[in-house]
Amino acid sequence: MALRIIGCGNFDRGDDAAGLLVVRRLRALCVETLGLEIPGLEIMEQSGETFSLMDCWTGSEHVILVDAAAPSGTPGQVQVWNATSDGLPEDIFPCSTHAFGVREAVELARAMNHLPQTLLIYGIEGKQFFLGAPPSPEVERAAVLVAERIMMRVSDSLVQTPQRPPRDIFG
């Protein structure tokens, strides 16, 4: 089973870097834990721009996407959506370039039957998004946890051992 993991964001806009922090941590974990690249796993960084994002998951059956989510008073809180079955809330991913972002990519792809077979979205709630700001400690901590959680899913779904058959990534 091929799995593509996409981290969205911008390192120059504070907590908007959340998705990028996760995929960079994830790359390190893959090497630390397994000592090699995992066949069938692709880890990518993306700005979050709708049309590039749609291209990014084209050809992938299974996708996990990580992005910063809008502040609502609990920075670092992690929410997960199964975007294959459920629509995304309107104001969760408002940080995007030129009116189109992650939600628009998902909903436009859904309208056009271009969603991957499975699409899991992790949103990490941000606190500060101004130019030049560093990621907040809350988001940095959450990024480490999300990377570890995704690593467990990756291990379960892609790394087979005699004792453990591969699991569905939503399992």
Partner 1 sequence: MSKQPTRTIKVDTLTRVEGEGALYVKLKGDQVQDVKLKIYEPPRFFEAFLRGRHFSEVPDIVARICGICPIAYQMSAVHAIERALGVGIEPSVRLLRRLFYCGEWIESHALHVYMLHAPDFLGYPDAIAMARDHQAIVQQGLRLKKAGNRIVALMGGREIHPISTAVGGFYKAPSKSALKDLVEELKWALDASLATARWVSGLDFPDFEQDYEFVSLRHPGEYPFNEGRIVSNRGLDTDASEYEENFTEQHVQHSNALHSVLRGRDSYMVGPMARFNLNFDKLPDVAQQAARDCGLQVPCRNPFRSIVVRAIELVFACHEALRVIREYEPPPAPRAPALAQASTGQAATEAPRGLLYHRYVLDQSGLIVSAKIVPPTSQNQKRIEEDLWHFVSQVATRPAEEITWKCEQAVRNYDPCISCATHFLRLHLERD
List contacts with partner 1 (CB under 8 A).
47, 49, 51-52, 54-55, 90-91, 94-101, 104, 107-108, 111-113
Residue 121 vs residues 67, 80, 137: alpha-carbon distances, Å: 8, 6, 22
Q: Where are the beta strands (DSSP E) in the chain?
A: 3-8, 41-46, 62-69, 78-82, 118-125
Q: How far apart are CA 158 and CA 41, in angstroms?
A: 8
In the complex, least distance from residue 97 CB atom to partner 1, rounded to whole angstroms? 4
Query: Which CB atom, from 114 or from 149, has the smaller least distance to partner 1?
Result: 114
In the complex, least distance from residue 59 CB atom to partner 1, rounded to whole angstroms? 14
Query: Which CB atom, from 36 or from 111, has the smaller least distance to partner 1?
Result: 111
In the complex, least distance from residue 107 CB atom to partner 1, rounded to whole angstroms? 5
Query: Which CB atom, from 55 or from 61, has the smaller least distance to partner 1?
Result: 55
Query: Which CB atom, from 98 or from 161, has the smaller least distance to partner 1?
Result: 98
In the complex, least distance from residue 153 CB atom to partner 1, rounded to whole angstroms? 29
Can you list the pairs that 32-41 forms with residues at least 24 positions away whose Cβ atoms lie under 8 Å?
A: 33/151, 33/155, 34/155, 34/159, 38/154, 38/158, 38/159, 39/158, 40/1, 40/2, 40/3, 40/158, 41/2, 41/3, 41/4, 41/5, 41/154, 41/158
In the complex, least distance from residue 47 CB atom to partner 1, rounded to whole angstroms? 6
Query: Which CB atom, from 36 or from 112, has the smaller least distance to partner 1?
Result: 112
